[in-house]
């Protein structure tokens, strides 16, 4: 079919149905039916691409049972990019059997910073009314995941330009993701402050859009491409050559989308790797953070970018004790909008993560994904565990004596 790249149409030929992907798929481990397994989705995608079956609501439902965690892609001995097939199949389903509500949200509201900001503000003002409805099961339980939203997003308090402390070592563009902006403004402020303290001139374009991952996950691939091009141009106008984000999902998405839109001249860096490098060349005193800390690997950092050492090295350097978590690289069950549609499955996956977290005896869990932070906090609250969850950059800020 001309709507799907030829290379994706042929990937199903590589799949030998060995089932290795099932051993790492968090969704299959919970549901235990073949239709939700990665290899089944590869075959389903082939049937959709070839026109053998219709891209209807049933197909879309089966495709929705995927966190896009990429564990199967990493594990596949035949190098089948399962996550790419799933997103392409979702795009086809969205085109052939569109949901008008999803089209409105992912194509019209989310891509517009002004509309998205208004929608989040409306949600924040209605939270007091929504909470009783959620507790009475009149609204989806996942609406309680964000907790009480901060009154002001990060963008309202961050300048377009933050000079380096002392002589600038480099100039970086800060990509402020949606979740960090609206849910964790302290993380954004700490990210900018830490980069500046470590000798970076930080530039924040005021016209940034979402990274586009939610659109890709929902099948709105053309909208995602337009957003990537707009973000790329925003950094280009400011002469930025290096871009960093405190969200692993944003970083992974930008690393893949910028080159596809002619942005090979702009390097997208993982925050933890950049920070570790800066710490090596900066003559600053890093005071130990007196905490027992463990670390959760975001899927879009460990699986999508193969980065696991840098955040651990950073935590070991600044915290009095670091304890490795069993199954640290296993998904927490959030998966962006996945938990909104499949809350029970997401919570079952999360329960295992919380159990492993508690085994460490740590008082703080650190990670580099705002969605993971939200998910882990929700799980710990449900389990009544008094463990804080923060971004790695917040612990570094504490080590440097920075308060947001």
Q: Please name every residue paired with 171 in a beta bridge, in sequence order, or none if there are none.
A: 201
**Closest CA relative to residue 349, chosen from 382, 326, 379:** 379
CB contact at 8 A, 364 and 398? no
Domains of the chain: 6-97 (1.10.1060.10), 283-399 (3.40.50.1860)
pLDDT class of 1 with cuts at 50, 70, 90: very low
Of 368, 392, 379, give the one whose Cα is nearest residue 339: 379
- Per-residue pLDDT at 136: 82
- The span from the CA of 276 to the CA of 309, in Å, is 10
Task: Decide: 377 and 389 in contact? Cβ < 8 Å.
Answer: yes
The kind and range of the H/E element at 276 are helix 271-281
Q: What is the rounded CA–CA span in Å between residue 310 and residue 273?
A: 5
| Pairing mode of beta strands 388-391, 364-367 | parallel
Q: Tens digits of per-residue pLDDT, 273-327?
A: 999 999 999 888 899 999 999 999 999 999 999 999 999 999 999 999 999 999 9
Distance CA 274, CA 195 (A): 9
Residue 49, pLDDT score: 92
Task: From 204, 182, 207, select the one nearest 195 (Cα to Cα).
Answer: 204
Band the pLDDT of 231: cuts 50, 70, 90. very high
**Residue 99: its H or E element:** none
Higher pLDDT, 185 or 139: 185
Among 388, 179, 171, smallest CA distance to 293 is for: 388
Q: What are phi and psi of 149, to 5 degrees?
A: -70, 140
β-sheet with 289-295: strand ranges across: 319-322, 289-295, 364-367, 388-391
pTM of this prediction?
0.94
- Burial level of 1, CB count in 10 A (0-12/13-18/19+)? exposed
Q: How confident is the model at residue 139 (pLDDT cuts 50, 70, 90)?
A: confident
pLDDT tens figures, 92-110 = 999 888 888 889 999 999 9
| Residue 249 Ramachandran class (φ > 0 left, ψ -120 to 50 alpha, else beta) | alpha
pLDDT band at 403 (very low <50, low <70, confident <90, very high): confident
Q: What does DSSP say about strands 289-295 and 242-245: parallel, antiparallel, or unpaired?
A: unpaired
Least confident of 130-139, 232-241, 317-326, 337-346: 130-139
Q: What is the pLDDT of residues 6-61, one digit of tens each?
A: 777 788 889 999 999 999 999 999 999 999 999 999 999 999 999 999 988 899 99
How far is 153 from 150, CA to CA, in rounded Å? Answer: 7
List helix spans (H) across 136-160: none
Task: Please give the angle made by the CA atoms of 194, 197 and 199, to the nearest 5 degrees.
Answer: 115
């Amino acid at each position: 079919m001309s709507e799907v790249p030829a290379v994706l149409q042929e990937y199903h030929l590589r799949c030998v149905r060995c089932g290795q992907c099932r051993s790492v798929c968090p969704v299959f481990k919970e549901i235990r039916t073949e239709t939700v397994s990665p290899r089944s989705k590869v075959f389903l995608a082939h049937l959709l691409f070839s026109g053998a079956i219709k891209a209807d609501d049933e197909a879309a439902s089966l495709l929705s049972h995927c966190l896009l965690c990429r564990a199967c892609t990493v594990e596949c001995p035949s190098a089948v990019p399962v996550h790419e097939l799933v997103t392409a199949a979702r795009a086809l389903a969205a085109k052939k059997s569109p949901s008008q509500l999803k089209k409105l949200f992912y194509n019209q509201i989310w891509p517009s910073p002004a509309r998205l900001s208004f929608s989040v503000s409306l949600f924040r003002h209605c939270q007091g009314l929504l909470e009783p409805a959620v507790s009475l099961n009149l609204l989806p339980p996942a609406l309680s995941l964000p907790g009480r939203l901060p009154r002001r997003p990060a963008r309202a308090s961050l300048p377009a330009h933050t000079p380096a402390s002392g002589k600038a070592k480099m100039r970086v563009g800060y990509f402020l993701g949606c979740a960090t902006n609206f849910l964790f403004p302290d993380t954004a402020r700490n990210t900018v402050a830490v980069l500046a303290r470590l000798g970076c001139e930080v530039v924040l374009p005021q016209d940034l859009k979402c990274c586009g991952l939610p659109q890709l996950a929902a099948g709105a691939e053309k909208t995602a491409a337009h957003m990537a091009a707009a973000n790329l141009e925003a950094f280009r106008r400011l002469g930025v050559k290096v871009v960093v984000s405190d969200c692993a999902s944003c970083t992974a998405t930008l690393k893949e989308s910028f080159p596809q839109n002619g942005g090979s001249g702009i390097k997208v860096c993982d925050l933890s790797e950049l920070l570790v490098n800066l710490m090596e060349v900066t003559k600053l005193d890093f005071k130990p953070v007196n905490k027992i800390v463990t670390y959760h690997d975001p899927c879009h950092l460990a699986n999508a970018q193969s980065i696991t050492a840098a955040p651990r090295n950073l935590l070991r350097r600044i915290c009095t004790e670091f304890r490795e978590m069993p199954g640290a690289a296993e998904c927490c069950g959030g998966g962006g909008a996945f938990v909104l549609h499949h809350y029970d499955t997401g919570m079952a996956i999360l329960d295992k993560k919380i159990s492993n977290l508690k085994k460490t005896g740590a008082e703080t869990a650190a990670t580099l994904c705002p969605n993971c932070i939200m998910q882990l906090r929700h799980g710990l609250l449900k389990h009544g565990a008094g463990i804080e969850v923060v971004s790695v950059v917040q612990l570094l800020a504490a080590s440097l004596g920075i308060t947001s």
